[in-house]
Amino acid sequence: MGIASEAVDHGRVVYARAYVRLKGLLREPHWSIAEVIIPMLSISAYIYMYEVLDAPNEFLGFVIIGGAMLSFWSNVLWGMSSQFYWEKETGMLELYMIAPISRMAVLIGMAMGGIINTTIRAISIILIGTFLFPIQFVIGDLSALIIIFVLTIVALYGMGILFASLFLLYGREATHMADLMQEPIYVLSGMYYPVLSSRFFPTAIKFIATAIPLTLGIDGLRQLVILGGDFSSVIPHMIGLAVLASVLVPFSYIALRKMENISKREGRLTLRWQ
Amino acid sequence: MAIANTAKVMAQGAWIGWKVESNWTDPFVFLAYMIAKPMASVLMIGLIFLIGSDAAGVMDQQFFFYAFTGAIFFIYPTTLAISLGYLMHEDRAKYEVLKQIYIAPESLKPYIFGRVIASSVNATVSVIAAFVTGTVIFSTFFGLDLGINVLEVNFPLLVGTILLGIIAFGFLGLLLCAINLVSFKLQHSLSEYTTGFLFLLSGVVFPVSVLPVVAQEVGYALPTTYFLNLVRSSLSGSGEFTFDLAYMILSTAGFAVMATILFKIAEQKARQKGMIDRKAEY
């Protein structure tokens, strides 16, 4: 089989898996509504908290941007990382495994569909937040904004594919592990407050936090759309995110192959309820 | 005889709840999970307070006490709503045991309350762990004082409030079970909606009076608002808790009646439509 036909096959797999995600958006619209309303509830609570504290207005925008990016993290955790576990529970995983397709293409398709869905939700959160609260966005440099966003998404979903591979080994603890990666990651990545510019975080913690693509992504986006930063103000963010993306994506590919082999050897692919 | 039977089913429910919620891993990992998640939520609230206050130039320690205690004791409604909001789906579609539980005599409601006991024990461990570590972290590293004098804490009120809260949130769980019994796709979002609305409207991290008027009225009708007020009164040793206590008792009783009636209606509808053992892969 030539490279071109192989690429076409991979493309078809990516499209097929992304299609399921997009179709789901239309078939179960209440899920999409829930994924906008539910984060808006906690976002509103944190905005009110900042208002009680009499914090500067820019903090309200920080919360909205963090809340919008939280949608991507939730999608990475529940729509990517735990996905193979759920496929296993519903008896679909073995079908993926026996089909003559690339598992990486399945995960990329999953990510593509998830990115489109989640972008719509994130934009909805920003629009509703801007409507409900006195928040002003200032987009100084659109090209920098697009670069930061794309790099964040690539690194984030690279991490998602990596987790999906690792979760292939898990039984029912998969849900708990995904659950455990919610609040602690919110704390470290500065979902609702600035981390990298804050004096309350020691340098070592800031350094660890930058290993999570969300930290650099959220901070870069806040610089560009709230604090009026220009291209040069987010160059360190771009470098950091590019490094993360270039490490996470190939590493996720290696991890997927390794974990699949281990799962096959240990007979974990068809185990349910364990 | 009937009471003994109910108690036995509740004990079995609590034991199953403990098994299901804890046996996915070894005890050390389970304990870390029980502590890390609520701890992170409390840390986040503390950090929002610190960073927001720093930017505003004012450090109101009384507000820290308000938000910190609210975030910690909100673990009770969150834990109960999440575990019970998923229970019907888990037992019906995932483990496929709901029909067996249902056909056993006098079993479903006592079983659900048994699960309430298991989740309450877990929540209590999380609350204690989050309270102790949160207090140590914020006082040691950030100089924030909760201003709690152990000698002034009204322990009987605190224990009574927690027990009353568990009953109220148990009936909230029964209500979620009723909804899930007659629906198939809400198990994930229902508990999230519930905890989200309660978090926003119950004065957890800011006073209800900050909300728009309509939202305030909803907030002042919720038992969670009075539960948190009573917890704060007991910890600060305040003597002004009579109204909150009366309202908490009244709203818990009202909530119990409403949840019981709705559960009964949902149960009948589920039987009529053959939903007790209907399996759906969502």
Query: Does residue A177 lie in a domain region?
Result: yes
Is B145 in CB contact (< 8 Å) with chain A?
A: no
Is A131 in CB contact (< 8 Å) with chain B?
A: no
Mean pLDDT of all residues in B178-207:
92
- Cβ–Cβ gap B56/A53 under 8 Å: yes
- Please tell me the pTM assigned to this model: 0.91
Q: What is the pLDDT of residue B1?
A: 60
Query: Does residue A270 lie in a domain region?
Result: no
Q: How many domains does chain B have?
A: 1
pLDDT (tens digit, 9 = 90+) per residue, A101-155? 888 898 899 889 999 989 999 999 999 999 999 998 888 789 999 999 999 999 9
Query: Does residue B281 lie in a domain region?
Result: no
Return the residue in B21, B24, B62, B204 with the most chain A beta carbons within 10 A, the one to mutate for interface testing.
B24
Is B210 in CB contact (< 8 Å) with chain A?
A: yes
Query: Does residue A271 lie in a domain region?
Result: no
Is B281 in CB contact (< 8 Å) with chain A?
A: yes
Is B184 in CB contact (< 8 Å) with chain A?
A: no
Q: How many domains does chain A have?
A: 1
Give the residue on A whose Cα is nearest the Cα of B205.
Answer: A49
The radius of gyration computed from the CA coordinates of chain B, to the nearest angstrom, equals 20
Single-letter code of the amino acid located at A45: A
Structure-token match 């990329």, residue found:
A108
Q: Kindly report the nearest CA distance between residue A5 and chain B, in angstroms.
A: 35
Q: What is the pLDDT of residue B171?
A: 96
Is B33 in CB contact (< 8 Å) with chain A?
A: yes
Q: What is the pLDDT of residue A222?
A: 96
For residue B265, report the phi and psi dihedrals to the nearest 5 degrees.
-65, -45
Query: Does residue A93 lie in a domain region?
Result: yes
- Cβ–Cβ gap A31/B47 under 8 Å: no
Question: What is the DSSP track for chain B?
Answer: -HHHHHHHHHHHHHHHHHHHHHTTS-HHHHHHHHHHHHHHHHHHHHHHHHHHHHHHT---HHHHHHHHHHHHHTHHHHHHHHHHHHHHHIIIIIS--HHHHHHSTT-HHHHHHHHHHHHHHHHHHHHHHHHHHHHHHHHHHH-------GGG--HHHHHHHHHHHHHHHHHHHHHHHHHHHT-SS-HHHHHHHHHHHHHHHTTSSS-GGGS-HHHHHHHTT-HHHHHHHHHHHHHHT-S--HHHHHHHHHHHHHHHHHHHHHHHHHHHHHHHTT-SS-----
Q: What is the pLDDT of residue A191?
A: 94
Query: Does residue A272 lie in a domain region?
Result: no
**Among A34, A48, A59, whose Cβ lies nearest the Cβ of B55?**
A59
Structure-token match 């660890």, residue found:
A208
Query: Does residue A182 lie in a domain region?
Result: yes
> Which positions 46-65 of A are in contact with B (Cβ < 8 Å)?
46, 48-56, 59
pLDDT (tens digit, 9 = 90+) per residue, B118-135? 999 999 999 999 999 999
pLDDT at B276 over 70: yes
Q: What is the pLDDT of residue B197?
A: 96
pLDDT (tens digit, 9 = 90+) per residue, B144-184? 988 888 899 999 999 999 999 999 999 999 999 999 999 88
Residue B182 lies in domain: 2-272
Q: What is the pLDDT of residue B281?
A: 60
For chain A (length 274 residues), average pLDDT per consecutive 10?
Answer: 84 91 82 90 97 95 95 88 81 84 88 91 94 90 95 93 81 75 89 94 94 96 94 96 95 87 80 65
Query: Does residue A273 lie in a domain region?
Result: no
| pLDDT, chain B, mean | 91
- Cβ–Cβ gap B56/A54 under 8 Å: yes
Q: What is the ipTM of this complex?
A: 0.92
Taking the C-alpha atoms of residue B30 and residue B36, their distance in angstroms, rounded to an integer, is 10
Mean pLDDT of all residues in B100-127:
90
Residue A34 lies in domain: 3-265
Q: Which carries the bigger pLDDT value, residue A138 or residue B207? A: B207
Query: Does residue B166 lie in a domain region?
Result: yes
Is B55 in CB contact (< 8 Å) with chain A?
A: yes
Taking the C-alpha atoms of residue B231 and residue B163, their distance in angstroms, rounded to an integer, is 11
Element containing residue A175 per DSSP (H, E): helix A173-180
- Cβ–Cβ gap B37/A183 under 8 Å: yes
